[in-house]
Amino acid sequence: MGLPPQAPAHAALWPLRFISVEAMSGVVLLAAAAIALAWSNSPWASAYEALWHLKLGLGAAEFLRARDLHFWVNDGLMSVFFLVVGLEIRREMHDGALSDPRVATLPIVAAVGGVVIPALLYVLINTDPATRRGWAIPTATDIAFAVGVLSLIGREVPPALRMLLLTLAIIDDIAAILVIAFFYSSGIAVGGLLIVAAGVLGVLLLQWLGVQAALAYGLPGAVVWFGMLRAGLHPALAGVLLGLLTPAASAFGPVQRASDTRRRTVESPVVRVEAMLHPWVAFGIMPLFALANAGVSLQGLDLSAAAPLAVGAGIVSGLVLGKPIGIVLASIAAVRLKLCALPEGVRWSHLVLIGLLGGIGFTMSIFIANLAFDDPGLLAAAKFAVLVASVLAATLGLLLGRLRGASATLRARA
C-alpha cells in the first residue's frame, strides 16, 4: 500500500533513514571513544586535558560564569541529545510502544531494580566505610553509549526495545541525579526549581498562543536549562522535559483512516523537530561527547592493595551482574503481579539485552566516582573498573544481540 497522495514523498523513507543514521552513528561514537582513550594515555595526554579545560564564557558572567569546554559539551550540547530522546519518548507515548500505561510502567520498575541490586552488590563487597562511599557508582547508565551500542546490533531489534532502553536510562539518570543531590552534595536548590517552572510556563504559553516556530521556544528552553543548573540538577535533562512538552498531534486533526496515521506521524511537531535534529546529534554531538568523556587516564592505578581491589570488584560486579539481574528480576516480578506488561515483539531475552546495556555506566559512573573518592588510588581504581565493566557489558550486549539476530534469520529461512 502506498502513501496517501497528500503525504510527503520522503515519509516512507523516514524509518529506514533513522535506522541507517543510528547504525552509522554508533560506529562513529565508538571510534571517537577509542581515540579519546588512546589520546588520554599517550605522550600527548596533557594536550587532551588542556583542550577540555579551555574556559569559555557567554558574556553573561553575572548569571553564568565562564565554564570549560567539557562543561559546554556535557551540559550544553548534550541538552540537544536529551531533547531528541524526549521527543522520541513523547512520540511513543502518544501513539507508540509507550501509549499503553501498563507497558510504560515497565521501564520505571526495571530502572528501580537496576539501581537497587548493583548498589547492594557493591555494599556486600565493600564493608570498609571509606570504600563504601562509592555504592552509587554501579547504579548509573550512560544513555548515549548504551543507545550507540544498541544501534550496532542491527534492524532485528524491535523498535519498542529502543524505547524501553531510552526510558529506563532516563529514569536511571534521574535517580543518579537525586542520589548525587542528596548524598554527594548540599541538596537541591528550590530557587532553581522556581526558574524551571517559569521556563515551563513560558513554553506552555507559546503553545497556547499557537506559536509554531521552533526557534521561538529557545528562550523559555534556555530558562529551563538555567534553572536546572541553579537547582544543582543535570542541566542537560532540560532537553528531556522540553521534548516531553512538545505536541505530538499533527495539524491535520483527528485520524480519519488507517492510512492517515503515517501522514499524521510524519507531520507532527515531534517528528518534524526530531527529523531536523537527529543527524546533528548522531554525527556531531554524540561523537564529540565521546571524545570529551572517554579519555580515562589510568595513571596512578594500583590494584595490589585490598581497598582499590574491593572498589574495582564492587563496581564490575554491580554493572556487569547487578544491572541485568536487577532489571530482569524486577521486570519479571512486575509482569507476574500484572503491574505492567511487555511491549509487543519484546521477549525476556530482550530484557536481558537491556540489562547488559544498562551496565554501560561510563561517564555518569565516573562522575559519581569523582564525588565519592578523594583518595587518588581509590579514584583510579574506580575509573578503571568503570571502564572495564562498561566495555564488558557492551561486548556481552552486542554478542547477545547479534546471536539473537542470527538465530532469527535462520528461523526465517527454515
DSSP assignments along 250-263, one per residue: -TT-S--STTHHHH
Quick one: how far is CA 13 from the chain centroid?
A: 26
**Looking at the DSSP assignment, which residues form a beta bridge with residue 68?**
55
Residues 21 and 266: their CA atoms lie apart, in Å, by: 17
Hey, is 67 helix, strand or coil?
strand
Q: Evaluate if pTM is beyond 0.95.
A: no
C-alpha dihedral (79, 83, 84, 86), degrees to nearest 10: 130
DSSP state of 237: G
The H-or-E segment that residue 56 falls in is strand 55-56
Residues 254 and 186: their CA atoms lie apart, in Å, by: 49
Name the amino acid, one letter, at 16.
L
Q: What phi and psi values does residue 2 have, to the nearest 5 degrees?
A: -85, 180
Count of CA atoms in the C-beta half-sphere (13 A) of 171: 21
Which pLDDT tens digits describe the chain residue by residue (414 residues)? 333 333 344 433 444 444 455 567 777 888 888 898 899 888 998 999 899 888 876 655 555 677 888 888 888 888 888 888 888 888 878 777 677 788 888 999 999 999 999 999 999 999 999 999 999 999 988 888 888 888 888 666 777 888 888 888 888 888 887 787 777 776 678 889 999 999 999 999 998 988 888 788 889 999 999 998 888 888 888 888 898 888 876 544 444 444 444 444 446 778 788 888 888 888 888 889 888 887 877 777 777 788 889 999 999 999 999 999 999 999 999 999 988 888 888 888 889 999 999 999 888 888 888 888 888 889 889 989 999 999 999 999 989 888 876 555 545 555
Residues 8 and 146: their CA atoms lie apart, in Å, by: 33
148, 363 in Cβ contact below 8 A?
no
DSSP state of 127: -
The H-or-E segment that residue 368 falls in is helix 362-372
First to last CA, the chain: 28
Residues 62 and 68: their CA atoms lie apart, in Å, by: 17
